Amino acid sequence: MSDKVIRMDKQEASKNKDIVIEGDAMARFANAFEASARRWELIIYPTMLAFVVLAAYGFFLIYTLSKDINTLARGMDPEMGKHLSHISESVIYLSENIRTMTRRVHDMSVSVDDMASKMDELDHLEPMLVNMQGMNASMAGMNRHMQNMTLTGDAMRGEMGRMGNSMRPLNFMNNFVPW
């Protein structure tokens, strides 16, 4: 590493001060510059690519937004002003119906509260329920006895029918008796 600085023109040394660097200093400077440029390339090129991608995406978003607004504008009714009065009347009618529904739901709520209070009053009827269970048991017994009576009456009817057919002279008389 012997770097010497020499003057180009020794006669004009006092007038012009041209300095030339000899040796490998220039090569080192070039290598350092190339390494620095490579580092910057690793940063700058991807950044430029990202900027281009984001710019293209921004253009796409603006294009899509303008297309959607165009579709929305074309879909609007040009005679919207004429229909606004009808829409406002419908909204008023709807508001009245909702008010009526609110009153009816409130009335239903009051009725349900009234029913709940009456159900609380039914708690003192429990002794009556015990008596009603006894009555239910008695009614079930009566039903069984009525079934027995019905079966017995049916059996008697069958016996009477067979008895009438078993005797010849009585069978002859059965034709004359109206019952």
Mean pLDDT, the chain, integer: 80
* Identity of the highest mean pLDDT range in 29-38, 81-90, 113-122: 29-38
% of the chain at pLDDT higher than 70: 76
Q: Which pair of tokens denotes residue 72?
A: 């929305």
Average pLDDT estimate for 61-77: 88
- Do residues 138 and 131 touch, judged by C-beta distance below 8 A? no
In the block, tokens 């009065």 appear at: 85
- What pLDDT is recorded for position 101? 94
Q: How confident is the model at residue 124 (pLDDT cuts 50, 70, 90)?
A: confident
- Do residues 3 and 27 touch, judged by C-beta distance below 8 A? no
Q: Between residues 114 and 10, which one has the greater pLDDT?
A: 114
Average pLDDT estimate for 63-86: 83
- Do residues 23 and 4 touch, judged by C-beta distance below 8 A? yes
Question: pLDDT digit string (tens) for 5-33?
Answer: 555 555 555 555 556 556 688 888 888 88
Q: Which pair of tokens denotes residue 115?
A: 């029913």
Q: Between residues 29 and 149, which one has the greater pLDDT?
A: 149
- What pLDDT is recorded for position 11? 55
- What pLDDT is recorded for position 171? 62
- What pLDDT is recorded for position 68? 93
The answer for residues whose C-beta is within 8 angstroms of residue 119's C-beta and 6 or more apart is none
